[in-house]
């Protein structure tokens, strides 16, 4: 699930929620505008919470529980990407996951 791809802004809430729930602890999912001047970054923590970094119209760092994730994603997309047609999603594995893969664990 590593790499980047484009999605429609209309379906972004649902797609981002699905992808964020699939990432492992320490992994990161970044949602960017077409010009890449605004973005939201989700990093999954060990305790099933998410660190959310918002950069664009608002700049904030939040900690969100799994239960509150859906509403927070919708709010963030509405605030950061109000006129966007396409959004770029980029998924990065944590350094620990990369190390385990290269060592064959």
Q: What is the pTM of this model?
A: 0.85
Which structural domain range is residue 35 located in?
A: 3-102
What tens-digit pLDDT sequence spans the chain (105 residues)? Answer: 567 899 999 999 999 999 999 999 999 999 999 999 999 999 999 998 999 999 999 899 999 999 999 999 999 999 999 999 999 999 998 765 445 555 555
Domain total of the chain: 1
Q: What's 24's domain CATH number? A: 3.90.70.20
Distance between CA atoms of residues 63 and 49, nearest Å: 7
């Amino acid at each position: 699930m590593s790499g980047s791809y484009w999605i429609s802004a209309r379906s972004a809430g649902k797609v981002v929620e699905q992808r964020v729930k699939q990432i492992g602890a320490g992994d990161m999912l970044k949602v960017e505008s077409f010009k890449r001047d605004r973005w939201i970054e989700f990093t999954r923590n060990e305790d099933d919470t998410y660190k959310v970094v918002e950069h664009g119209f608002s700049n904030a760092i939040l900690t969100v529980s799994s239960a509150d994730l859906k509403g927070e994603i919708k709010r963030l997309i509405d605030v950061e990407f109000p006129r966007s047609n396409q959004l770029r999603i980029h998924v990065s594995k944590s350094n620990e996951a990369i190390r385990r893969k290269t060592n064959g664990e």
